[in-house]
Amino acid sequence: MSERLRTHAWPGTYDGEAKPRMGFFTDTSICIGCKACEVACKEWNRVPESPQGFTGDSYDNTVDLGANSWRHVAFVEQRKPLGIDAAERSLAEAANLDQLVAETGLQTYQEGDGLRWLMASDVCKHCTEAACLEVCPTGALFRTEFGTVVVQEDVCNGCGYCVPACPFGVLDQREGDGRVWKCTLCYDRLKDDQEPACAQACPTDSIQFGELDDLRERARARVEALAEAGAERAQLYLAGDDDGIGGAGAFFLLLDDPEVYGLPPDPVDATRDLGSTWAAAGVAAAALGAALAAVVLGGRR
């Protein structure tokens, strides 16, 4: 367990006011796709409606996270739980079931036809190494005393630098407003010792809120139990400190690879290598300068 998790989030910043780092553990294995999280989030945070129309993408008509959708439930219909390749098989390919019946002599198509419907509620990850926060020139994005990453709506000037910086595509400018809006992990509720609206509304406790180190412990036990029960591809996503974002404040238990849910398998804090990049650039510039000098000087010779 990293020091940063066990004690207080960013003690250097908040001194005595620092709180234990809080986060979400979203256990997708018990998500029933009710979307209560989406609605509760919008109700509490007064997020504008975002009608996308009928998408035909299973039961998902929210499409993705954005300025007006801070929770998004993904629906993945899988013919066989075999990872990304299976999920990508086209309907036309999968349609040839009559032949399957003829070959196997089965009476119905269900038999031998593993069908799985994955549901998962996505949200801002509240990264440990948050690129959005690093690139924000105004300080609108900040790290709270709970270790969460929040946009201050009265400071954001809508420059949009944070939008491409986010490795998950969470940050988004609101149309007609220009500013960036995203999950605050219900900062206002946290200040009143209330859990975030989505977690409170979740009927099955798929979305669990709490101190991050408690959540990680719970998640590890859960994924082990699932593995014992035969869920071979069950895995934790963003639950460690050693990934490209230094771990997330909102992490997930997935039943398949992240790509299956539309999540990046190896997200990287885009600013992480900035220091070495600048150093390399400096070396290159010096070399170039030396070369130019040589040319110029040589030319004079």
Partner 1 sequence: MGSNMAEQHPVGFQWVIEAKERGATVMHVDPRFTRTSAMADLHAPLRPGTDIVFLGAVINHIMSGRREFTEYVRHYTNARVIIKESFRDTDELDGYFSGFEQEDGLYRVDSWGYAGTSGELTAGKREQTGDVSGDQAHGAHGMKLEHGEPPEEDWTLQHPRCVFQILRRHYARYTPEMVEEVCGVPRERFLQIAETLCRNSGPERTGAICYAVGWTQHTVGVQMIRAASIIQLLLGNVGRPGGGVLALRGHANIQGSTDIPTLYDILPGYIPMPHPTSRDDLARFVELNGPDTGAWGSLDAYVTSLLKAWWGEAATADNQFAYSYLPRIDGDHSHYPMMLRMLDGRTRGFVVIGQNPAVGSANSGLMRRALANLEWLVVRDMSEIETAAFWHDSPEIEAGETRPEEIATEVFFLPAAAHTEKDGTFTNTQRLLQWHHKAVEPPGDCRSDLWFAYQLGQRIRARLAGSPLQRDRPLLDLTWDYPLQGPKQEPDADAVMQEINGRHADGRFVSRYQELRADGSTSCGSWIHAGIYADGVNQTARKKPGREQNWIAPEWGWAWPGNRHILYNRASADPQGRPWSERKRYVWWDADEGSWQSLGDVPDFEPTTPPDYTPPDGATGTSAIRGDAPFILHPDGLGWLYAPQGLVDGPLPTHYEPEESPVPNRLYAVRASPTRQRFERPGNPYNPADAQPGADVFPFVLGTYRLTEHHTAGGMSRTVPYLAELQPELFCEVSPQLAALRGLEHGGWATIATTRAAIEARVMVTERVKPLRVQGRTLHTVGLPYHWGRKGLVKGDAANELLGLALDRNVHISEYKVATCDIRPGRRPRGPALAALLSDYRRRAGVGR
Pairing of strands 207-211, 235-237: unpaired
Phi first, then psi, for residue 104 (nearest 5°) are -95, -15
Produce one character per residue of 49-79: b if its CB has 16 or more CB atoms within 10 Å, e if not: ebeeeeeeeeebebeebbbbbbbbbbbbebb
- Does the annotation list 132 as a binding residue? yes
Q: Which of 21, 35, 179, 182 contacts partner 1 by CB under 8 A?
A: 35
- Does the annotation list 116 as a binding residue? no
- Cβ neighbors of 179 (< 8 A, separation 6 or more) are 151, 153, 156, 157, 158, 173
Among the listed ranges 101-109, 152-160, 169-177, 213-221, the one in contact with partner 1 (CB under 8 A) is: 101-109
- Does the annotation list 86 as a binding residue? no
Residues 60, 75 contacting (CB under 8 angstroms):
yes
Residues 70, 47 contacting (CB under 8 angstroms):
yes
- Nearest distance in Å: CB 98, partner 1: 7
Helices of type H across the chain: 3-6, 11-14, 36-45, 84-87, 91-94, 97-104, 131-135, 162-165, 187-191, 197-201, 212-228, 274-300
Q: Which of residues 188-247 bind partner 1 (CB under 8 A)?
A: 203-205
Tokens of 198: 């989505």
Q: Which of 56, 176, 275, 298 contacts partner 1 by CB under 8 A?
A: 56
Residue closer to partner 1 (CB basis): 37 or 127? 37
Does residue 163 bind partner 1 (CB under 8 A)? no
- Does the annotation list 288 as a binding residue? no
- Does the annotation list 117 as a binding residue? no
Q: Which of 6, 15, 84, 109 contacts partner 1 by CB under 8 A?
A: 109
Residues that bind partner 1 (CB under 8 A): 30, 32-36, 38-39, 42-43, 49-54, 56, 58-59, 61-62, 77, 79, 91-92, 94-95, 97-98, 101, 106-111, 115-119, 203-205
Output the known binding site for [4Fe-4S] cluster.
31, 34, 37, 41, 124, 127, 132, 136, 156, 159, 162, 166, 183, 186, 198, 202
